[in-house]
Amino acid sequence: MENVIEIKNLCKKYDNFELKNVSFNLPKGTIMGFIGENGAGKTTTIKLILNIIKENSGDIKIFGLDKKYDKKIKEDIGVVLDDMFFPEILTPNDINKSMKHMYKNWDTVMFNNYLEEFNLPTNKQIKTFSKGMRKKLEIVTALSHHPKILILDEPTSGLDPIARVEVIDIFQHFIENEECSILLSSHITTDLEHIADYITFINNGEVILSKTKDELLDNYGIVKCSKEEFKKIDKKDYIKYKKNKYEYDVLVSNKKEFRKKYNISVIDKITLDDLMVIMIKGER
């Protein structure tokens, strides 16, 4: 499968944080959920991809080009960042006028249609908008120059459940032609369970897994057992465990093989939230 973003051994060092040899690929026509707790390195990775900050080492290719050729590729990338903002004195009409000069593929009709769909006024200043309205405006703007990739950092934060469903529907429609792709960082993992094709999990500056969502949710599971039962489990047969007050939660990567080996009939399905908690808080 063709990759539209290729990241290899990406490193970025700060005084109190380090991104360490981050590697993953975004296949064409797919949605990748990018997960991890606050401060794990998601936003740093995204800003490196977008050439907002400079890496210490590593390679980033977008559409097969080195990202330093950003002038050639920025036309095809739509962006929503968690700390993104428009000047508050502007109106959506002002944004439309500005974007016409920034993007050769800017589509005023599409922009206005999205504004209508999201019930966003065209002539009111952004300072009158709620947080959710501002986030919708950012998403609308990112979509309206016909990008081939959307890079989104917490795009649904601040949105009510109905608005989140509307936005997710738009993201799914965006990739229907199998030519467009999305890298989506989000703390709302239930959204990713619905729409993501791949999940990349970063913790403390390191990618600890990057797999298809189906592989994670279908094959991974949680075994709940007593201390005595846990002692009988070979260390190589689980990834991590978390000790609770009365039982152990044991994360396994192959439910079928584990069930066969240990004659355990019940293995709980895993959610992305479960995965994050055990991988971050669990022991080995």
Q: Note down the domain range covering 240.
A: 220-281
Q: Is the Cα torsion angle 159, 161, 162, 166 positive or negative in sign?
A: positive
What is this structure's pTM?
0.92
Last residue of a domain, one of 188, 212, 236: 212
| Total count of domains within the chain | 2
Contact 136, 120 (CB under 8 A): yes
Instruction: Determine the pLDDT at residue 70.
Output: 63
Q: Are residues 184 and 59 in the same domain?
A: yes
Q: Are residues 58 and 159 in the same domain?
A: yes
Q: Are residues 22 and 72 in the same domain?
A: yes
Instruction: Determine the pLDDT at residue 160.
Output: 87
Q: Are residues 139 and 50 in the same domain?
A: yes
Q: CA-to-CA distance for 153 and 172, rounded, in angstroms?
A: 17
Instruction: Determine the pLDDT at residue 284.
Output: 84
Instruction: Determine the pLDDT at residue 131.
Output: 86
Tens of pLDDT, residues 58-94:
999 999 888 765 666 888 999 998 777 789 999 999 9
Instruction: Determine the pLDDT at residue 107.
Output: 97
Last residue of a domain, one of 212, 243, 269: 212
Q: Are residues 159 and 227 in the same domain?
A: no
Q: Are residues 119 and 235 in the same domain?
A: no
List the chain pLDDT tens, one digit each, 284 residues. 799 999 999 999 999 999 999 999 999 999 999 999 989 999 999 999 998 999 999 999 999 888 765 666 888 999 998 777 789 999 999 999 999 999 999 999 999 999 999 999 999 999 999 888 998 999 999 999 999 999 999 988 888 888 888 889 999 999 998 899 999 999 889 899 989 999 999 999 999 999 999 999 999 999 998 888 899 999 999 999 999 888 999 999 999 999 989 887 789 999 999 999 999 999 98
Tokens for 28, please give them: 């064409």
Q: Are residues 33 and 143 in the same domain?
A: yes
Last residue of a domain, one of 151, 184, 212: 212
143-180: burial string, b at 16+ Cβ within 10 Å, e else: bbbebbbbbbbbbbebbeeebbebbbebbeebbeeeeb
**Cα(first)–Cα(last) distance of the chain, in Å?**
34
Q: Are residues 236 and 179 in the same domain?
A: no
